A and B are shown apart, each in its own frame.
Chain A
Amino acid sequence: MRKLAAFLLAASAVAQAPVTPQPVGSMIELMRDVIYPTSDAIFYIQRNPPKNDQEWNALRGTALTLAESGNLLMMPSRARDQGDWMRDAKLLVDTATDAWKAAQAKDVNAIAALNDRLYTACVTCHEQYRPGYRKRL
């Protein structure tokens, strides 16, 4: 009986231990494998606009992935600071959320209209935080 009580107590302690989110991929991997391809689907929407429900469903998922990736950038272990970094990531979340809603509405023009805003979210952050960005020439 004592062993059972001790086990339950230990299990309860484990269950109550705080779980903090931990990055799986590096920043480069997150950019290259998630944000890059998903943002391209939004940037170049007019190149290959969805032609059927299946393609719209895929784009909807892509836009949602991009929006959620902005949240991943705001994870404590990824955020460089609580100021500009968070503001830029929030712009990515908000813009991609609008793309997600536009994909739900199957509105190509609304997605295309987000091009400048999405570009601003990317470039503003890169200019401040990406080493060597636009300093090569």
Chain B
Amino acid sequence: MEGPIATEVHVLKIRILVPVVAFVLAAAGPLVAHHSFAAEFDDQKPIKATGVVTKVEWQNPHVWFYVDVKDENGKVTNWGFAGGAPGQLMRRGISNKAIQPGMIITVEGFRAKDGSNNASGGRVTFADGRNVFTAGSEDRTPDAKK
């Protein structure tokens, strides 16, 4: 984990981490079903992105939040991150006000298999260093190997 992220809106970066979760695959049973993590996301492609929240969709079956992420060349890409169901998140104390447009957040998750700018949103770290676990309870997370 990194420390508190920079508060400057335009100091944004995205890093695709080196795949290090092969053993997670070995531990995971077959899981291809309705809205499953395995069907949509590639746990060989972890992602850690920092940017500005542009939109939040607080609805079943998955909360989605969208983040403008600027790469090292200055190009801004809007990424969509899928979290757990609203009820799951609320039981963890994450309300629908927790992530708001305009916030700067760092999201850790895994990229979509279809190559789109979508990913699972496993964990969100806020500008003050707090972090919340936003994945669905059946989803894999970047630190599942720990």
Interface residues of B in 48-75 (CB under 8 A from A): 57, 59-61
Given contacts A119-B85, A132-B138, A134-B137, contact A46 B59 (CB under 8 A): yes
* In contact, B35 and A36 (Cβ under 8 angstroms): yes
Q: Is the CB of A137 within 8 A of B137?
A: yes
Q: How far is the CA of A65 from the CA of B126 in the complex (A)?
A: 42
Report the bound CA distance from A32 to B28 in whole Å: 19
Distance in angstroms from A68 CB to nearest chain B CB is: 16
Q: How far is the CB of B38 from chain A (nearest CB, A)?
A: 10
Does the CB pair B34–A115 fall under 8 Å?
no
**Residues in A neighbouring B85, C-beta threshold 8 A:** 119, 123
**Interchain pairs with CB closer than 8 A, number:** 55
Distance A132 CA – B33 CA, assembled complex (angstroms): 11
Interface residues on B, range: 20 to 34
What is the distance, in angstroms, from A121's C-beta to the closest C-beta of chain B?
11
Chain B residues within 8 Å of A28, by CB:
32-33
Contacts of B136 in A (CB 8 A): 134
- Provide the main secondary structure of the chain A interface: helix
Within 8 A of B (CB), among A108-137: 115-116, 118-119, 122-123, 126, 130-137
Q: Which residue of A lies closest to B135 (CB)?
A: A137
The reply to whether A35 and B60 form a contact with Cβ atoms under 8 Å apart is: no
Interface code B110-135, partner A: CB below 8 Å = 1, 0 otherwise?
A: 00000000000000000000000000
> Is A44 an interface residue, CB under 8 A from the partner?
yes
CA gap between A136 and B27 in the complex, in Å:
10
Contact of A32 among B33, B137, B139 (CB under 8 A): B33
- By the criterion CB–CB under 8 Å, are A31 and B33 in contact? yes
Q: Does B39 contact A (CB under 8 A)?
A: yes
- Decide yes or no whether B26 CB sits under 8 A from chain A: no
1/0 per residue B9-33: CB within 8 Å of A? 0000000000000000000110111
A136: which B residues are within 8 A, CB to CB? 28, 137-140
**Interchain nearest-CB distance for B27 vs A (Å):** 9
B residues less than 8 Å from A35 (CB atoms): 34
Within 8 Å of chain B (Cβ to Cβ): is A51? no
| Residues of chain B whose beta carbon lies under 8 Å from any beta carbon of chain A | 28-29, 31-35, 39, 57, 59-61, 85, 136-141, 144
Counting from the closest, the 9 A-B pairs by CB-CB distance are A119-B60, A134-B137, A136-B138, A31-B34, A134-B138, A31-B33, A36-B34, A115-B60, A28-B32
